[in-house]
Amino acid sequence: MWTWNHKLRGILTAAAVAVAVNAAAQTGRVGGLVKDEAGQPIKGATVTAENPSASPSSFTATTDDKGRFSIIGLRSGQWTFTAQAPGFAPDGTKLNVQTIGTPNPPLAFSLKKGGGGASAGALGGMAAKDLQAELGAADALYNAQKWDEAVAAYRAIMTKAPSLSVINLQIAAAYRNKKDYDAALAAYNDLLKADPNNDKAKIGIGMTNLEKGDIEAAEKTLQAAAQSVNATREVFYNLGEVEFAKGKADDAVAAYTRAMQMDPRWGKPVFALGKVALNKGDTKGAIDFFSKVIEVDPTSPEAAQAKAVVEQLKK
């Protein structure tokens, strides 16, 4: 088994190198409008993009006086976008972001008065333009890998705008990058205090425990998350990653398959099933799965890697 795992790592590493050159350029832009029910633009609305499989996994933008927003730097894959504003109920949608080829379609949000919207003081008195500037500065520190400075900047924003608890995802990601796993877990748990059903935080806890070397805790966290009736495809995919790391191939296949069934156009779980097949020595099965990745999610990083792997396997 060790010999085959070594071969698997070699093939996947070679494939990763083949696509790494283009990775930096593979970022997309998504823009759009936020309006009220009467069609009037909402200034200062917050639009959050989240994808736990990406890094960074969360971006936040605020709208200008015409209700416009733009988010740049998104990796390809499915992102969840949520628009919210003081006095309005939030609105959300999902988009499979593309980083090459056809531009991403604009998003349009129509927020209704009242409901589950944030209170009038949600932004803590911050002007929308100030919030946007501070978020941009914090993200710049994060992208420059200045982890401690980024954390300080994000925490300063949350002090001024406590309702933006989702920023804890960025704080946790910064701590994970500097391998301060206990601090990352604390940030995820802070988010769960404000939003107990946040799957991104649950996934983050599971994967942080895995990075920390506590595979049992990672498995326990993600298995519990998978029991929820609202469990997302990301929960099952990451559960599969943990089971695969534990050597539980059958359990990994079950989790990856569930993720694939929830979104047949998502290449990540299909690629993972190819890895499992390759690990078992099933070359034909692996080629079939990798070929399917190219078919169902052709613009994804996994598709580029799958092409390279198939070429290696067919030599």
What is the pLDDT, as a whole number, of residue 13?
Answer: 56
Q: What is the domain range of residue 128?
A: 123-196
**79 in a domain, yes or no?**
yes
Q: Could you report the per-residue pLDDT of 255-300, keeping only the tens digit for each? A: 999 999 998 988 999 999 999 999 999 999 999 999 999 999 888 8
Q: What is the mean pLDDT of residues 150-171?
A: 88
Total domains in the chain come to 2
CATH number at residue 102: 2.60.40.1120
Q: Would you place residue 24 in the very low, low, confident or very high pLDDT band (cuts 50, 70, 90)?
A: very low
Contacts of residue 278, defined as CB under 8 A and 6 or more positions apart, other chains included, come to 8, 11, 286, 309, 313
Report yes or no on 314 lying in a domain: no
Stretch 20-37: mean pLDDT, rounded? 70
Query: At 150, is the pLDDT very low, low, confident or very high (cuts 50, 70, 90)?
Result: very high
What is the residue-averaged pLDDT of the chain?
Answer: 83
- Domain boundary residue, one of 172, 196, 220: 196
Strand partners, 79: 95
Contact between 62 and 110 (Cβ < 8 Å): no
Q: What is the pTM of this model?
A: 0.59
Other CB atoms within 10 A of residue 277 CB: 20
Report residue 43's pLDDT band, with 50, 70 and 90 as the boundaries. confident
